[in-house]
Amino acid sequence: MVCLVTGSSRGLGKAIALAFGRRGRRVVIHYNERKEEASIVAAQIKESIVLSADVRDYNQVRSLVDTVTEQWGGIDILVNNAGVTREALLLKTSEEEFDEVVDTNLKGPVNFMRAASPYMIKQNRGHIINISSIAGVSGKAGLSAYSASKAGLIGLTKSAARELGEHNVMVNAVLPGFMLTDMGARSNDRAKGAALADSLMKDFSDPRDVAEFICRLSGTRGISGQVFNLDSRLI
Ligand SMILES: NC(=O)c1ccc[n+]([C@@H]2O[C@H](COP(=O)([O-])OP(=O)(O)OC[C@H]3O[C@@H](n4cnc5c(N)ncnc54)[C@H](OP(=O)(O)O)[C@@H]3O)[C@@H](O)[C@H]2O)c1
């Protein structure tokens, strides 16, 4: 089984790639800039390949997907995990910042889905899991672009699930809790404090727990178009 995890050089993507690797799956480790980190992840997985692409660029994404299918014959699981945040109030968010966040977090998954789903349709099998965020459901002050991109990703998930169901391709979205990855750790103290205060379990989320859920979800059948909140914050 071939699993492609975008942004698996570090953070949650790394945890997902390692969890797939522990299950003996073939894993594509994808990165944008951090080749060395990606290679370190790949070295811990029996069958892996390391490939780079800027998710914002369709041609790079298409070429990566073609390389994977030439080498391994198809893609069974695509996890759209790569993402960025830029903290700024709406009125102080520049057009460049807005475009960067939306192009990475929303257009990136669109690019991968457009490139990978024809192969999934052809093999009449596949599962796409999009990593969204509670911010895309509830909104977060200072994260307008990020929240908009993650809300868009939920709409994209549901629409693609409707289109691809007849081809036996499932599409779901997952909302991880607040994790102290590079992204989470960079958040300001107020945001971290609010995440803890709102958490019924009074704790941050562990990427390894999120990764285990995603692995299990990827192996299920008959679940599509759903949004899974992996947090103890109430929506
Ligand atoms: N951390 C949280 O609390 C939290 C909560 C909810 C949802 N999420 C979501 O979970 C996902 C993973 O977050 P994380 O915390 O693990 O983030 P992270 O530690 O900052 O890692 C981000 C990953 O995305 C890749 N990436 C960024 N821009 C890219 C681009 N233009 N093209 C290709 N790859 C790109 C990075 O590649 P390089 O290493 O090569 O730069 C890296 O592998 C994101 O979608 C995020 O929005 C996170």
The protein residue with its alpha carbon nearest to ligand 1, atom 34, reads 32
Show the domains of the chain with their CATH numbers: 2-230 (3.40.50.720)
For residues 86 and 145, is the Cβ–Cβ distance under 8 A?
yes
Active-site positions read 146
Give the pLDDT score at 108. 99
Q: Inter-axis angle of helices 108-123 and 144-164, to 10 degrees?
A: 10
Token pair for 232: 């103890």
Give the pLDDT score at 72. 98
> What is the 8-class DSSP label of residue 231?
S
3-state secondary structure (DSSP) of residue 83: coil
CA distance 183 to 167: 35
CA distance 135 to 127: 24
CA distance 34 to 37: 6
Minimum-distance ligand 1 atom for the alpha carbon of 207 = 16
Q: How far apart are the CA of 24 and the centre of ligand 1, in A?
A: 24
Q: 48: part of which helix (H) or strand (E)?
A: strand 48-52
Give 235: exposed, middle or buried? Use CB within 10 Å, 0-12, 13-18, 19+. Answer: exposed
Q: How far apart are the CA of 57 and the centre of ligand 1, in A?
A: 16
Which residues contact ligand 1 via a Cβ below 6 A? 7, 9-13, 31-34, 37, 54-56, 81-84, 104, 131, 133, 176, 178-179, 181-184
Give the pLDDT score at 178. 97
Match 């391994």 to its residue by tokens.
72
Mutate to test the pocket of ligand 1, among 4, 6, 8, 12 (most ligand atoms within 8 A of CB): 12
pLDDT in tens, the chain (235 residues): 999 999 999 999 999 999 999 999 999 999 999 999 999 999 999 999 999 999 999 999 999 999 999 999 999 999 999 999 999 999 999 999 999 999 999 999 999 999 999 999 999 999 999 999 999 999 999 999 999 999 999 999 999 999 999 999 999 999 999 999 999 999 999 999 999 999 999 999 999 999 999 999 999 999 999 999 999 999 8
